[in-house]
Amino acid sequence: STIADTTTTKTTTAKTTTAETTTTAETTTNTPPICPPSTCCSATYLEGGACTETSGLSKKVKKKFCSKAKMCTNSLGVFDTKCTCCRNCKEHKTCKNRKGKCVDPASVNWSHWNFDFCYKKNVKCLKRNGGMNCVCCGWNDPTNPQLGQGENVQPPTQVITPGRSL
């Protein structure tokens, strides 16, 4: 699942029927997002990604999280330069030090990664925006992760105590 933005447009009209009575009608219309959810981005970023409208993102965020080449379709179904595949999470040095991978639990391909566990705390990830949930996951033997051989479920969480290494 991906996060999609919708714009709500409200139109209020007033009609006077007599000098004493006023009738007000309110209409709400939901405008589809410019860049709706797309499966092509989850294939581009197996750790979790989404088709994102990049016009509202800073250059720093675009450079760190978004593809320079991978466009996705707009609400009309046409590939659009304003709609780009962006990863939701990126490794913080604490996750890199554990040889882990930061993923978005809502859009990651769990079966591809075949993680043995996910860290509960003390190991961090960078999020594209504050509303996202990112978690660092890893393997008992990071030199032999056996990618693509897992089940499509989130692995158990593991608490790491300071000074302990796997």
pLDDT in tens, 86-130: 999 999 999 999 999 999 998 888 878 888 999 988 899 999 988
Residue 35 CB contacts under 8 Å (≥ 6 apart), including other chains: 4, 51, 52, 53, 72, 73, 74, 75, 80, 82, 83
What does DSSP say about strands 117-119 and 157-158: parallel, antiparallel, or unpaired?
parallel
Is this prediction's pTM over 0.85? no
Average confidence score pLDDT of the chain: 78
Q: Are 95 and 103 in contact (CB under 8 A)?
A: no
Over residues 2-28, the pLDDT tens digits come to: 344 434 444 444 454 555 555 555 655
Q: Which residues have a Cβ under 8 Å from the Cβ of 95 and sit 6 or more positions away? A: 101, 102, 119, 123, 124, 125, 136
